[in-house]
Chains A and B, each alone.
Chain A
C-alpha cells in the first residue's frame, strides 16, 4: 500500500505543486524557460517573488476567458447529446436477454479499446469535402455541392460525442442492470402510463448512473485536445488546445501553468462530486 501511495504522491500530487509554483514565475529565455521564485539577495536573505502577471494576463486577454467559456459550453452540450443517445442504449442493453446483453456490451466496449486517435481520424475521412458522406449524398442526388463539415464546430461535437459515448453507457448500464423491473410492472398495474412510470421510477433510480456517466464525459471533454485539434479547424477555441499551443508553440511555460491551475480549480468541484457519487454507488451495491 505504501508503494502506490508514494508513487501517486510523487508523480501525481507533487507535480501540481510545481505547476502552481511555475504559474507564479517570470518567463525567461533560458532552459527551462522560467525564472526561479526563490532568489538569494545579499548574503543572508532569501527573497520570494510571486508574479501574478500570468493570471492577470489570462483575465485581460479575452482569448483565454473565451476559450474557457467555450470549452464548458462544448463539454456541457456534448454531455447532453451523449446522454440522449446513451441512455436509451444503456436501457435497452440492460433489458435485453442475458446472452444478447453480453454481446451488445462487448460491442460497446470494443471501440473503447481501439485507439481514440484512429477513431477520430475515421471522421476526417467521413466528413471531408470529398469524403464518404458527401460522396454518398451527391451520388444519391440529395445535394449537388459538397457540404462543408470538416473543421467546423459540428465536426468537433460529432467527434467528442462519438469518442466519449462508451464512457457514459458503461456506468449507466452498471446502474440500470441492478434495477428491479417489477417496480415498473407494479406501476403499470396501478395505472401508470409507460412514460410516466419511466419518469417517476426509472429516471430517479438511475440518478447516480446518469451523474457518474455524465462526469466521465464532461470533465475530460472540458480539457480535450486531440478532437478539437483534428476536427475543429483553426477557429475551434478550446482551453486544452490553448494550453498545448502556449506550451509547445510559444514556449510560455508559466502561462500554460496558469491555464492549467485555473482549469483545475474549475474542475475539482466536479471531480469531488464524481467521487461522492461513486462512493454512494458502491455503498448501495453492497
Chain B
C-alpha cells in the first residue's frame, strides 16, 4: 500500500475502534461516579465503590441473574449437543434426505428477527398446552427451549466449519487399525473439534445470558431474567447500578475471551509442532 492509502486506512481503523469502545469505556468510568445523575462527574466524592455495594445488595437483580445463569448453562449444554449433531451431519454427509431443509433451518435462526421467533415460539407453547397440556404455563423450561432453538444454529455453524477443514485421514487410519466408530468419535474426532465445541458453548451461553426479546415472549410470571430487569430499569432512565453491572460483565467477558484465545493460540502452536 502506498503512503496515502495506508494513512486513510489507519484513520478509519482508529475512528472505528473509538466508535466501538468510547461508549463501553464511558460506562466503566461512570460506574465509579458518586453522583446519582450518572453522567455528571461528582469530583468531590468520586471515585467510589458505593454503586458496587448497592448492586450486590439488590435482591431483584441478583434473583434475575440467578435465573439467567441457570437458563444460560442448560441452554449452552443442550445447544452444544444438538449443534454438534447437526454440524456433523452437514459436514460429513453430503447427500441425505432433508439436508437442504436442515441447512436452511440452521441458517434461518441466525438472521431471523427476534420478535418473529419469540412470537412464534410463544404461540406454539400456548397451542401445545391447549392440545396436550404441556408445557403447563411458561417459565424457565419454555425460555430454555426458545434459547436453544436459536443458539444451536450458531453452534452448528461453528462445528460445521471446523469439521470442513478437518483431515479425515486420521479417522480412516483409526478405522483401519480396528477402532469402532463410537471409539473413533470420542478418542479422535471429539478432541480435535474441542476448541469449536468450547467456543460454541461460550457463544450459546452469552446469547442466552443477553437475550431480551425471546425471553420476554416465552417467560412466565416469576421468571424474569437479568436482561428483562435491566430493560425495565433502563426504560425509566439511566441508573448507576446498570453501569456497575456493565463494568462487571465487561471484566468477566474480556478475561474469559483473552484466556480462551491465548489457550487456543498455544494449542495451535502445539499442533503445528507435532505435525
Contacts and interface: CB of A to CB of B under 8 A. Distances in A.
Contacts of A19: 116, 119-120, 123
Given A12-B149, A244-B115, A286 B12 contact: no
B38 interface: yes
B13 A119 contact: no
Instruction: Tell me whether chain A's interface is mostly helix, strand or loop, or mixed.
Output: helix
A216 B111 CA distance: 6
B1 A95 contact: yes
B13 A104 contact: yes
Interface string B90-110: 000100101001111111111
Interface in B116-137: 116-117, 119-121, 123-124, 126-127, 130
B101 to A, nearest CB: 8
Interface of B: 1-2, 4-5, 8-10, 12-13, 15-17, 19-24, 26-27, 30, 37-40, 82-83, 85-86, 88-89, 93, 96, 98, 101-117, 119-121, 123-124, 126-127, 130, 145-146, 148-149, 152, 156, 161, 164, 206, 209-210, 212-213, 216-217, 227, 230-231, 234-235, 237-238, 242-243, 245-246, 249-250, 253-254, 257-258, 261, 265
B113 A240 contact: yes
Nearest to B102: A5
A251 to B, nearest CB: 12
Contacts of B145: 11
Given A162-B19, A166-B20, A225-B115, 7 more contacts: A1-B89, A88-B9, A95-B9, A115-B227, A225-B213, A226-B213, A271-B111
Given A7-B152, A121-B242, A88 B16 contact: yes
Could you say which of A7, A12, A19, A282 has the most chain B C-beta atoms within 10 Å of its C-beta? A12
Contacts of B156: 4
Contact of B107 (A109, A128, A225, A274): A274
Interface of A: 1, 3-5, 7-9, 11-16, 18-19, 22, 32, 85-86, 88-89, 91-93, 95, 102, 104, 106-111, 113-119, 121-126, 128, 130-132, 135, 162, 165-166, 194-195, 215-216, 219-220, 222-226, 229-230, 240, 243-244, 247-248, 253, 256-257, 260, 263-264, 267, 270-271, 274-275, 278, 282, 286
A84 to B, nearest CB: 9
15 contacts: A1-B88, A5-B89, A16-B120, A19-B119, A89-B17, A92-B12, A111-B21, A115-B209, A115-B210, A117-B231, A121-B27, A128-B39, A226-B231, A244-B115, A260-B120
